[in-house]
Structure 1
Amino acid sequence: MVKFFTSSIAGMAMAVAAVYAQTTAPAPPTTSPGVTYPPVNAVPPIDSPEVVAWLKEIDLTGAPTIPLHTGDPPVCPNPPIVDECYWTCDGCSADDITACGRPNTWGLTFDDGPSTDTPVLLDYLKAQKLAATFFLIGSNVIQFPDLVKREIAEGHHLASHTWSHHALTTLSNEQIVAEMKWTEKAIMDATGLRMKYMRPPYGDINNRVRFVLKKLGYIPVDWTGDAFDTNDWQLPTMTEETVLATFTASLDAYAASNKSQGFYCLEHDLNNLTVGIAQKLIPLGQARNITIAPVPVCQNDNQPYQLGGTAVIPTLSAAPTVAPTSAPSSTVTKGAAPTGSIKSGAEKRYIEKGAMVLAAAVAVVAALA
């Protein structure tokens, strides 16, 4: 079900978004041997030599002529656009992956990294002998390449979350190519691996975006509906107790189902709050005998990266941390949101960055008190 913003929350969102805009101006291009990357946190230009060359490698003719969406978050079209299949607004997922293909399995994924707090999460996952999929932002990869290398070394799976975390339905086909290919290059430069899976920022995807992504060889992975949005990004405006209680209810409902397929959650390794709550959410699944695995294990994919990389493709595995159990029959399905409104999980994510700025502001105030 869609949950609409109250005026107070909307006001807070706009306020923190304004702070975020003032504190995250595009950084100067970062360089590495033989390459100059675009400014971080900004949509890359499409007239650079690299993007021009990449565009020559693919054929975008035949792309659906769906108008670009506008707004932040994008405004849902009213009436809906025929054949758009807009997951953000109407719950249409087309052939996106929306559920883990293995029974009784939690597809463990983390978005928006790497960050300075990612090592804490990696330490925890290593101690728990767990593997996850990290949907990486290219702008962060070039700042923390050693963390990306560590993720591979410790058996995790890498996937794309675009270069700058902009809503893809608001970008042109060429801008989408630039977002994906610069991220692909950043990760390949760090690891030699070419990404195969991706998650659209905010879950913002329609048939036009899917067309471009498929031309680039990418498979979109959404999450399994609002029940599996952990809301970690809302900390501290949402209390830790509320996050845990909400997710506990979702896990209990899943545990009471037939668990014939698994689920994917929305989690982040963005800061100490999201990393901290992950260490409390994961044990909730373990206590309910739910197996935890990365995307390729969920999808039984023995080739989790595209060909064309410069490194040997690693083999991923995820031994169950606890034995699966059975439960009364039921099913878990991804609910569709009413036309003309933003799907709640995606809607809430649009104020994520502002919420994180608010968290930082709270920490600064506390330190000065």
Structure 2
Amino acid sequence: MVKFFTSSITALALSVAFVSAQTPLTGYPPANKVPDVNSPEVQAWLKEIDLTGAPTIPLHKGEPPACPNPPIPDECYWTCEGCAANDITVCGAANTWGLTFDDGPSTDTPKLLDYLKTQKLSATFFLIGSNIIQYPDTVKREIAEGHHLASHTWSHHALTTLTNEQIVAEMKWTEKAVLAATGLRMKYMRPPYGDINNRVRFVLKKLGYIPVDWTGDAFDTNDWQMPTMTESQVIATFTKSLDAYAKGDKSKGFYCLEHDLNSMTVGVAQKLIPLGIARNISIASVAQCEHDAAPYQAGGTSPIPTVSGVTPTATTTAGTSTGTATGSATPSTTGNKSSGAGAVHAGALSVGAVIAAVALMV
């Protein structure tokens, strides 16, 4: 039986000059609310895709929803049945921790980026559209420093509770925000709460997205439970998971569940990551794990960045993006480091933009 939880989207704000200096994007739906499907923008997007043939599965209720009893035939509900269909649930690289952070950007994301830069590590950030429009410069910095961007929807609502049209609105407004900030069109996504079934998958595939879950309860860091769960308990619990992985079959890697939504989750991440490094587990982004040298969809306004040291694979390409691997690095290394069913959770920039982003770190 998997567990349900809700995550607090309230960040514990600190005075961060990098964040406060940002100019929010305008012309977007209300933050943290499911966008209106009757807006001109959503109606135009709906005309671009054919949702005919979508599985007829009743909408679930709740945030997150409870498991249906009895189960719905042919739903393939990951959160309740452990059915992943074609979702990505394990890192494709051996002995590798697929480092991912959900729910950002937040006022505390720059501190996490500072840390990842000192460790020379790359991560995938599953972004919430409502937060992107508040902190677009943080998103630009993530790209400038070699991280991978993916979608976590506009408002963090459980997708199995939304209509097909609402799912389109959630994904496309988030896509539009990242396009505005970076010129890139995302290709990977993570459903809020891990809430996904065959109907949701059908719509996401039509939009060119590849779902990335995480590798079961053992690789949920439980950072979302703080402060109810103490930092020491989070560290102790995840240490057991890393020890079990290090002693077992490491032919495939794993994806963890972590968050950059407040100072507590960002702080504990800086204590969990060294535990993996100490066990000689490589650390990589989703793009590196999946050996996808072109981890964005075609149709953006910036050239699609390639991922150093990996070769594009047809199995992870949802859109029509193409790319060529460069360099020789595999999952990020610093010295000797580099990088089933799940628990339910709550383009190249101009040289000037890169310099500006780095300058803000000094």
TM range (shorter): 0.7 to 0.9
1:27 corresponds to? none
CA distance in structure 1 between the aligned counterparts of 2:197 and 2:265, rounded to whole angstroms: 28
1:320 corresponds to? 333
CA distance in structure 1 between the aligned counterparts of 2:260 and 2:64, rounded to whole angstroms: 22
Call closer, same or farther: CA 1:179–1:288 in 2, change over 3 Å: same
Establish whether residue 295 from structure 1 lines up as the match of residue 308 from structure 2: no
> Given the alignment, which residue of 97, 111, 114 partners 1:120?
111
Q: TM-score, normalised by structure 2?
A: 0.82
CA distance in structure 2 between the aligned counterparts of 1:54 and 1:209, rounded to whole angstroms: 17
Matched pairs, number: 311
Conserved 8 A contact 1:291-1:321? no
Conserved 8 A contact 2:185-2:299? yes
Instruction: Please give the residue correspondences for 1:1-369 in structure 2 after superposition, counting only pairs within 5 Å.
Output: 1-2=1-2, 32=25, 36-317=27-308, 318-323=331-336, 334=340, 336=341, 345-346=343-344, 349-350=345-346
Q: TM-score, normalised by structure 1?
A: 0.81
Call closer, same or farther: CA 1:322–1:79 in 2, change over 3 Å: farther
CA distance in structure 1 between the aligned counterparts of 2:294 and 2:165, rounded to whole angstroms: 28
In structure 1, give the amino acid aligned to 2:302: A
1:340 corresponds to? none
1:328 corresponds to? none
Cα distance per residue 1:98-139 (max 9 Å; x no partner): 000000000000000000000000000000000000000000
CA distance in structure 2 between the aligned counterparts of 1:169 and 1:117, rounded to whole angstroms: 30
Conserved 8 A contact 1:113-1:134? yes
In structure 2, give the amino acid aligned to 1:112: D
Conserved 8 A contact 2:4-2:64? no
Residue 127 of structure 1 aligns to a residue whose secondary structure is: helix
Cα distance per residue 1:200-235 (max 9 Å; x no partner): 000000000000000000000000000000000111
CA distance in structure 2 between the aligned counterparts of 1:96 and 1:250, rounded to whole angstroms: 22
Could you list the runs of 5+ residues in structure 1 that have no partner in the other structure? 6-12, 21-29, 326-333, 337-342, 351-369
224-233 vs 308-317, which deviates more? 308-317
Conserved 8 A contact 1:60-1:215? yes
Call closer, same or farther: CA 1:105–1:38 in 2, change over 3 Å: same
Could you list the runs of 5+ residues in structure 2 that have no partner in the other structure? 11-22, 309-330, 347-362
In structure 1, give the amino acid aligned to 2:114: D
Conserved 8 A contact 2:24-2:134? no
Aligned-residue sequence identity (percent) comes to 77
Q: CA deviation at 1:78?
A: 1.3
CA distance in structure 1 between the aligned counterparts of 2:68 and 2:30, rounded to whole angstroms: 31
Relative to its length, the structure with more helix (as a share) is: 1
CA distance in structure 2 between the aligned counterparts of 1:291 and 1:249, rounded to whole angstroms: 17
Conserved 8 A contact 1:290-1:322? no
Call closer, same or farther: CA 1:107–1:322 in 2, change over 3 Å: farther
Cα distance per residue 1:25-54 (max 9 Å; x no partner): xxxxx984xx61000000000000000000
Conserved 8 A contact 2:178-2:185? yes
Q: CA deviation at 1:314?
A: 1.4
CA distance in structure 1 between the aligned counterparts of 2:225 and 2:79, rounded to whole angstroms: 19
Conserved 8 A contact 2:126-2:149? yes
74-83 vs 273-282, which deviates more? 74-83
Residue 135 of structure 1 aligns to a residue whose secondary structure is: strand
In structure 2, give the amino acid aligned to 1:176: I
In structure 2, give the amino acid aligned to 1:144: Y
Conserved 8 A contact 2:283-2:337? no
Q: CA deviation at 1:4?
A: 8.3
Call closer, same or farther: CA 1:136–1:261 in 2, change over 3 Å: same
